[in-house]
Structure 1
């Protein structure tokens, strides 16, 4: 990461941009777009000079490219199936994971307050991935942006569709809780409804003293997975995908 208050401590700008472009696998014609994409609001003189507007554009481009790819990859999937798959693939945790794997934290332009922490927040890593998509789109067009997106997103699509990541929310939440707080998540049964042969269960996940939005499921196992997904989305500032209203959609209730 680059501390804007200590420019002499960092490699020359041209070297940094060259290294970043090598990681991205894309060469910019306009390096000012790359610089803007890497500039967090804390490292900008004005928020309009940060990557926030690019993040907005990149998020829309990412969603469109992934939706188109899912549509063609899974012709037998219904709308709901495609929506659930997309929600995992383009989630902020996935974007942050890709940024981390690319080592983009080393190229971020941050203000002093952000550089005092040894770890770049996952939300910032998610934002820079989306802003870089916008920068590539503005520099090289939709085809260049789509190529960059699919290079990194197709493995996520395949692993999510095969159940390697999409159905393992409890494991993801446990890793987060142990890494960030040194604790193990707990799950509380809030409510149960229905006859004995087809009950539904409402469960909430909790990390430390923080309880997350609950979710319904046809079994306690399914409820815990859904509750864990709600928790992960809440942590990353995303809406909870499972609400109490889903009870009406479950069979037998």
Structure 2
């Protein structure tokens, strides 16, 4: 029963995150046609605030991972002393996140009267964007687990929201940093979409970012794996592609 409750929290949290990303992207494109910079600003602000709220709501239940990368890091760092995500829950979390991301994208599409599912035609590929994803994901992992290691989980909503809002602007990829949300966003041909063919490259880059973030964490906080106080955080932003 407890596992089901945590899985539901991950499903709803990831779904609502994607709804915020995709929905605010559609709204931004409609309110500010032709002004990509303003669209990105509107999208980033909405996503940062939504993310902070979702962490507050679902954090006490599941840790508010909303992101396979965060779940994998939690499991890996806590595997020796069993302080992190149990192995038996890892697949449950990731499955719930993937399903939630897809459902959240469909919900956003329906709210704005666009087809429930239309695969994106927006190609996002190339070494600069992949490097941006490594940076964005590595920074996210380092932030989340540094907060856990130093027992500052209470500031995670503000800190993670601020990081994602900033990462929209300082990474070439506009900081997807989340395999589940990357997959979910392939189902909308709107401002936040990513072409299905571009998804594998982003996911691989995010996994590299996971390795970078965990390596940096262990170098800076050698005992990081000894804490079970994971504030958690997701992420995936919308963005505009190569020229963002």
Same fold (TM over 0.5): no
Question: Which structure has more RCO (C-alpha within 8 Å, separation ≥ 6)?
Answer: 2
Structure holding more strand per residue? 1
Structure holding more helix per residue? 2
Which structure would you say has the larger Rg? 1
TM-score (norm 2): 0.29
TM-score (norm 1): 0.28
